[in-house]
A and B are shown apart, each in its own frame.
Chain A
Amino acid sequence: MNDEIHTLSGAYALNALPLRELGEFEGHLSRCETCTIEVRGLQATAARLGAAVAEMPPRALKSRVMAQITEVRQEPPQVEEEEEPPVAEVVPLRRRGGRWALALAAASAVAAVSIGVIAINEIQARDATIQETQSLLAAPDAVVRKVRMVGGGTATVIASGDRGKVMFTSDLPPLDASKTYQMWVIGGEQIRSAGLMDGGGVRTATVNLPAGTEHLGVTVEPAGGSQQPTTEPIMLAKVV
């Protein structure tokens, strides 16, 4: 644990960090469980300081608030860094089929896009992967999803539009030699290949995230990969 950054927990709980350090500390928090627990306790303490200066506002405020909420749409449940059932994160099977088919049809109507399939090697040097992960996680717009894969297992997807990268990692079931895993970046009506992952076992791949990408998908394709997906995705994760 970095002692220097750890001492910021008090200032953080008091909302007293300047913007630059705020981003840095939140990045640190996402990796430091001890710090997260400490921050929660300190925030609860600060809340008590707030409650100690309680004061009733005018009654009219309540009518204004109650009227306003009838016009404000609520956010759907959050799905960050927590494993959730496939229905919450991955588009449900029936809808996925429809959506995937629709996207496919639309894509094939578009002039054939050169897809530039790149083969992704087995896990790169471990250090490089960890460094890459941390760098992505530190991006202010980083999105982290842990999703269930169709057929079992989970995958973690870390994406940053700012960095233009998305990282996928999962323990993939082995495939026979005639097949390969293929990643796809999906935005609007366009599905583009993002690379192949051969074989099975733990696979970590970082690929470019073109602007406008909304989902990262993985399918099982014939060895060598396909121009467009030919099977239903075994994983589909939102990257925005």
Chain B
Amino acid sequence: MGFVNDVVPITITGRNPELDELLVLVARGDEAAFERLYDRLIASVFGLIRRVVRDRAQAEEVAQEVMVEVWRSAARFDPARGSAMSWVMTVAHRRAVDRVRSAQASTDRENRVAQMGGDVAYDHVAETVTTRLEGERVRRCIDGLTELQRQAVTMAYYGGYSYPEVAGLLKVPLGTVKTRMRDGLVRLRDCMGVER
């Protein structure tokens, strides 16, 4: 595990007790632990935010907010409830999504979604996902999804779209999108061997 992480810090798989321990130390005000945690997670945090927010300068701002938030609220992390990696990435994704959703009044966004049409949006997302996804395993697992599962999951996660927006873009019923997001993620989880 240590070897894998040292060489390719992005392919952290499953639980990583060392990261969990670092975050627990951060909660006690340990700045050195925070610096190590930063080094280990920043590429994943920044990459995700950049994917959602797109604009590089804004992505840097959001990444800074996220890491400061991690410092500020580290006491909320409970290793019994999940990994440090998952906790930090959840904070990062929320902040990135907040940024793109507040950037446009919701009505603007709905209009934009209506005008874009499904095909355009999907092609764009699918292309960027295919060309930029790193990590053989993750890509292979995504390939194992049905078309609609993949669209629903990637548009929400990488595109920052809400599920009603995804439904609008893909022109499928709301209930179908909800279900595809769930069963798509469940299939990915089982494929990746994510520990629960």
- Give the B-binding residues of A (Cβ under 8 A): 7-11, 13-18, 37, 40-58, 61-62, 64-66, 68-70, 72-78
Contacts and interface: CB of A to CB of B under 8 A. Distances in A.
Contact of B93 (A15, A61, A66): A15
A48 B10 CA distance: 9
Given A48-B194, A74-B72, 6 more contacts: A15-B160, A44-B83, A45-B194, A46-B185, A48-B138, A78-B75
B42 A56 contact: yes
Interface string B172-196: 0001011111111110110010111
A66 B35 contact: yes
A10 B196 contact: no
Contacts of A10: 153, 178-186
Max chain B Cβ within 10 angstroms of own Cβ: one of A11, A18, A56: A11
Contacts of A42: 182, 185-186, 189
A51 B42 contact: no
Interface in B151-187: 153-154, 156-158, 160-164, 166, 175, 177-186
B58 interface: no
B94 A15 contact: yes
A74 B194 contact: no
Contacts of B27: 74, 77
Contacts of B43: 54-57
B82 A44 contact: yes
- Would you call the interface of chain B mostly helix, strand, loop, or mixed? helix
A56 B196 CA distance: 28
Contacts, number: 203
B67 A65 contact: yes
Contact of B86 (A16, A17, A47, A52): A47
A91 to B, nearest CB: 19
B34 A14 contact: no
9 contacts: A8-B182, A14-B181, A42-B189, A48-B194, A51-B11, A52-B138, A65-B64, A72-B71, A75-B73
Nearest to A5: B178
A54 B157 contact: no
Contacts of A52: 10, 133-135, 138-139
A236 to B, nearest CB: 22
Max chain B Cβ within 10 angstroms of own Cβ: one of A15, A17, A66, A72: A15
Contacts of A45: 185, 188-189, 192, 194
B150 to A, nearest CB: 11
Contact of A54 (B9, B88, B181): B9
Contacts of B94: 15
Nearest to A45: B189
B196 A41 contact: yes
Nearest to B97: A15
A41 B189 contact: yes
Contacts of B142: 49
A46 B47 contact: no
A50 B44 contact: yes
Contacts of A55: 43, 46-47, 50
